[in-house]
Amino acid sequence: MSVKDEAKGVLAARALSYQRVFLGKGVDTDRVLVDLARFCRASQSTFHPDARLAAQLDGRREVYLRICQHLKLTEDQLWSLYGNHSLSED
């Protein structure tokens, strides 16, 4: 198995873990995702005149977007975002 294949396997396993946690059935899953969307300003601007607070809000939103990416993107799309493109093809 190549280093690239191994890295892609790790990425796929991580995405599956996110999906198991955040795509479970039930009211708790829905509540948590709605709460995270609100807390992380998923659909709002993170602008704030205080640069430190703006950075904090950006960080929250970045975490939320990472969760969403692992729930909705294909393995190839995730590889494009997170994969190590400096790996040589075997």
Report domain extents, the chain. 3-82
Q: How far is CA 63 from CA 8, 30, 37, 83, in A?
A: 21, 17, 10, 18
Write out pLDDT tens, residues 26-77. Answer: 889 889 999 999 999 999 999 999 999 999 999 999 999 999 999 999 999 9
Cβ neighbours, 10 Å, residue 72: 12
Task: Decide: pTM greater than 0.75.
Answer: yes
- Dist CA 75 CA 45 (whole Å): 28
- Dist CA 44 CA 3 (whole Å): 39
Write out pLDDT tens, residues 78-90. Answer: 999 988 665 545 4
Identify the pLDDT of residue 85. 65
